[in-house]
């Protein structure tokens, strides 16, 4: 299993540009989510999905779109990048509902995004 994979690892954008951060998992997890991590602010949930065709907003959804057409993929789209979106982005997945003794999320390696 590759687990949770993310591409790209690094990206530099100019203000107003658009891009898609890719996330894929091969563990057949129903639940997938996107977080952003900023210094001193921990991890904040952007959007999440509990299955193909189902998405919902987290704490900080503004400026981001998601879709879930397959169980494996959960891309995050920035339609018009802003400097405030400079951050490290983590995708995560987990089984829906109880999974044995733990309900842990498995994180991808992250994408470091800089918006100039």
Partner 1 sequence: GENVEQHPSTLSVQEGDSAVIKCTYSDSASNYFPWYKQELGKRPQLIIDIRSNVGEKKDQRIAVTLNKTAKHFSLHITETQPEDSAVYFCAASNYNTGNQFYFGTGTSLTVIP
- Contact set with partner 1 (CB under 8 A): 31, 33, 35, 40-45, 48, 50, 56, 58-59, 90, 94, 96-98, 102-105, 107-110
| Cβ proximity to partner 1, 13 vs 34, nearer residue | 34
Q: How many Å apart are CA 18 and CA 1, to the nearest integer?
A: 31
Cα distances (Å, whole numbers) of residue 15 to 3, 34, 87, 111:
32, 21, 14, 18
| Cβ proximity to partner 1, 14 vs 42, nearer residue | 42
Going by their DSSP bridges, the two strands 43-51 and 54-57 should be labelled as: antiparallel
Least Cβ distance, residue 18 to partner 1 (angstroms): 25
């Amino acid at each position: 299993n590759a687990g949770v994979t993310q591409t790209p690892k690094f990206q530099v954008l100019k203000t107003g540009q658009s891009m898609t951060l890719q996330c894929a998992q091969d563990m057949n997890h129903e639940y997938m989510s996107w977080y952003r991590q900023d210094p001193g602010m921990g991890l904040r949930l952007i959007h999440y999905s509990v299955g193909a065709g189902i998405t919902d907003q987290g704490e900080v959804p503004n400026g981001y779109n998601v879709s879930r057409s397959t169980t494996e993929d959960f891309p995050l789209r920035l339609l018009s990048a802003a400097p405030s979106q400079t951050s490290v982005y983590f995708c995560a997945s987990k089984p829906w509902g109880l999974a044995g003794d733990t309900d842990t999320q498995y994180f991808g390696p992250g994408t470091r995004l800089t918006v100039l």
